[in-house]
Amino acid sequence: MPTPALPPQGAPDRSRRWRRVRRAAALPLAALVLSGCTVPGFGASPGDTTSSKSVFHLWQGFSIGAVIVGGITVGLMAWAVVRYRRKGDHIPVQHQYHLPLEVFYTVMPILIVFGLFAATLVVENKETSNPKTNVTINVNAFQWGWQFTYPGSNALVYGQTTQSPVMEMPVNTNVHVNLTSTDVIHGFYVHAFNFSRYALPGVVNQFTFRAENTGTFFGQCTQLCGLYHSLMWFRVKVVSPAQYAQWLATFNNPAAAAAAAAAIKTTNEELASGVASKASYTKFGR
């Protein structure tokens, strides 16, 4: 009876080792897939608006890219250390350069930077697109409070230091915000929206919120703007469109109309006097 050919010595050992390596590599991947493809937040929160979520996804993409690049780099370093550790007294082959490798590590970072730039540009363009909407809120920051007026209605919310005002807005609706200041630089920050923007005298910063959930969210000034800066709070109340319409309707009376007209007149006067040297400013109207 002929004896079957034996595999070369060492081969089964090597294939077993490879199988073990593959199994170890598959474990974290399987864990990620089985956990319902939940990509970690890498220390950030998704926020409550459409744009905060797209910024969050950008951050996730960047972080995953960093983990991959870092993993490959550390892996290659570890492999080189182990694979080419000193085994004897002979000097390894000496190379002056390795052209393909040098081209690779010059081109690859450039491609990565372009990739990150393109992804940022897409998200930024979405952020600053300001789609057309019929809900607009004029936000005016001052020492030390906030004023919210709603063009097309008499709604006026004014609050300072000890009484934090509430900015009411509808859910799942594009809300255009015109933000300015009548005195010094303030910061309009809503933690739950992952959003912060300067309120600058003489400049109207415009942006759009699209809140995805109802609720009341905390906001505050984030620029040291004077004595009561720390008390310059406000809240953002996101309600259903019907509730929002109902709230606006509560201002449909002559007293509210007079109050709103007076407040807007004062704000516009302050804006005009505060930025007299500036080329232009936008009047807050109704």
Query: Which CB atom, from 232 or from 238, has the smaller least distance to Cu ion?
Result: 232
Report the nearest approach of Cu ion to the CB of residue 263 (Å). 19
Report the nearest approach of Cu ion to the CB of residue 25 (Å). 52
Query: Which CB atom, from 135 or from 221, has the smaller least distance to Cu ion?
Result: 221
Sheet order of strands, 233-239 included? 166-170, 233-239, 215-221, 186-190, 195-199
Report the nearest approach of Cu ion to the CB of residue 229 (Å). 5
Give the containing element (helix H, strand E) for 247: helix 241-249
- Binding residue for Cu ion, selected from 55, 137, 169, 221, defined by CB under 5 A: 221
282 token code pair:
């936008």
* Helix segments in 35-177, DSSP class H: 50-83, 99-127
Query: Which CB atom, from 62 or from 189, has the smaller least distance to Cu ion?
Result: 189
Pattern of binders to Cu ion over 176-205, x per CB under 5 A? ----------x-------------------
DSSP state of 84: T
Task: List phi, psi (to 5°) of 9.
Answer: -60, 135
Taking the C-alpha atoms of residue 88 and residue 1, their distance in angstroms, rounded to an integer, is 46
Taking the C-alpha atoms of residue 77 and residue 71, their distance in angstroms, rounded to an integer, is 10
| By CB under 5 A, residue 155 contacts Cu ion | no
Report the nearest approach of Cu ion to the CB of residue 186 (Å). 3
- Binding residue for Cu ion, selected from 204, 232, 260, 275, defined by CB under 5 A: 232
Taking the C-alpha atoms of residue 204 and residue 130, their distance in angstroms, rounded to an integer, is 14
Taking the C-alpha atoms of residue 233 and residue 72, their distance in angstroms, rounded to an integer, is 46
- Binding residue for Cu ion, selected from 157, 225, 260, 264, defined by CB under 5 A: 225
Query: Which CB atom, from 139 or from 239, has the smaller least distance to Cu ion?
Result: 139
The residue count for binding Cu ion (CB under 5 A) is: 4
**For binding to Cu ion (CB under 5 A), which residues are involved?**
186, 221, 225, 232
